[in-house]
Each structure stands twice: as C-alpha cells, then as structure tokens.
Amino acid sequence: MAGERITAVRLGSRIRARAEAAAVEAFTAGTCGHPDNGFVSALDPAAGVWCPGCGDDPVRDLLLTYWCLMCEHPARAGLTQAEAGGALVLLRTCGCCLTADSPNSP
C-alpha cells in the first residue's frame, strides 16, 4: 500500500452502508490472521479482512478499477477509506457518491 494516496472525508450515508455491508461480508469470509489486520476491499469483500502486508492483491485491484463502485461514473483518484464494522473499508468512488446523502449536505 506504500505511496498510494488514501483520502479521508466525511462520507454520505449511502457509501457508509456500502462499507458496512462489505465489512460484514469480509468478516464472514475470515481474516488473514495477522495482528494488524482490519482492512477490507469494497470491491472484493470475499477476500476477507487483511493486514497491509497481505493486501497487495486487493489494493492493486482497487487501484486498477476505473469506475465508481456505486454508479457509472469514473472514480476519483486514490482510494477512499471508511471505518465500518470494526474494519477500515477501502473503496473507489466518484465525487458525487462519496458525499451522497451526507448528513452535512445542504
């Protein structure tokens, strides 16, 4: 995961629901077993919960994903992270989906 840009923003409720669903699915699939695990890919939650050392494949797949996970628009640059269900879920989304239904939107 070295050198990749990860952005923290206030997320909308739709994307948080997506992240929570991914976290549940990943914990059902299992963890890599290392003490610093806690990362989940929203693109492939069936890969389970992994640590940075085990996350090369799911992170690469995320970074190679051109499209937003939630609509048909191109994703914004970098990864988005969302805390959900005790994990840190990594997502690719466009700018609109990132903050859709945010409690802070006008």
Binding region for Zn ion (CB under 5 A): 32, 34, 51, 54, 68, 70-71, 73, 94, 97
Minimum Å distance from CB 32 to Zn ion?
A: 3
Q: CA–CA separation, 23 vs 49, rounded Å?
A: 8
Minimum Å distance from CB 93 to Zn ion?
A: 5
Minimum Å distance from CB 76 to Zn ion?
A: 9
